[in-house]
Structure 1
Amino acid sequence: MRQILDLLFGSGQSELRKTIEVFHENAETGAIRAAEGQAASLTQFAQEFHAPERGRFDRLMDAINRLPRPGLALGTLGLFCAAMIDPVWFAARMEGIALVPEPLWWLLGAIVSFYFGARHQSKGQEFQTQMSQAFARMSEDIQRFKDHHRQAEADTGQDADLTWAATIPERNPALDDWRASK
């Protein structure tokens, strides 16, 4: 009996396991593949949203660059409050602003426009760079995903008949009977 089983399934436990796995997936191996796929996708998501490390000086400059917009907004609201609290004080300050020559207002407008325009352009280019890097990583990750999840194909070597037989699905009489009964 042992010789017949060895002839059918091979001479070791690994041969029997390989034979059975042709018909039924190994649950442990399937779970490992699923866990690896999930870990790879989480790693990809983490890389897409990870900003490169920056030094203290860069972080300080970013913090300083974030101050003008809220400062302008809060300063304008402060002017409205000052006008309501002490109109005489506010009127004296506005008379001083009215005495500023027009070319100085043009210069101030140009400086503010260039500041915000340059910052907008810089942030826009940084965003486009990050998006192009993410798309490059995405194409690599898709290829790795395809390679990882590609189903195992039978190695038929140079045998054309075996290759032809492997590509044609076999008839399944039990499945045909089941379909006929439905």
Structure 2
Amino acid sequence: MIWYALILLLVGSAFLTRRVPWRSAFGMILAWIAIFAVVLVAISYREELAGVFRRVSGDVLGRPRQTTDGSSMRVAVASDGHYWVEGTINGTSARFLIDSGATVTALSTETARAAGIVPDRQRMPVVMQTANGPVEAQRARVTELVVGSIRMHDVPVVVAPQFGKINVIGMNMLSRLQSWQVRNGEMVLEP
């Protein structure tokens, strides 16, 4: 607090010795306060601002949302704040939401049907707690699920019409990876 008082005293004495009119001195002080505030905010939120810059430049320049770098895969955050990837289920193209809050990988009935996945109706359905409330889903298995450089076999999934058209990659697939993390607005998946 003493440092702030000393800085204020130094700046104030500079204005007094130069005999600057109070009105213009007040305007200059406000301008410098605004400049320091902007710099402080930019420094404090530099990682978030870097993510915003990457997202905007990706939208403007048309950069891909998912890229493969060696064996690792990078997924840029979408404008809705989620991580979406393109992949295949048993050779059929599908779009997935990566959700670390989902216990199991989930497929829409439309995607399951297109990929030739038949839910096991002989087993009891699973009641799942979702963000939209409880959902009754049927269990099934995917022979092969491929997302970028990641290839998984015999993946347990659930299928339900309540999922709409959304397919979700859950923790049962993410936990098979060597690592996954979110860094600077990108999700990095290591097979």
Give the greater-gyration-radius structure (CA).
Answer: 1
Relative contact order, CA 8 A, sep 6+: which one is greater? 2
Name the one with the larger helix percent: 1
Give the TM-score normalised by structure 1: 0.29
TM-score, normalised to structure 2, is 0.28
Pick the structure with more strand per residue: 2
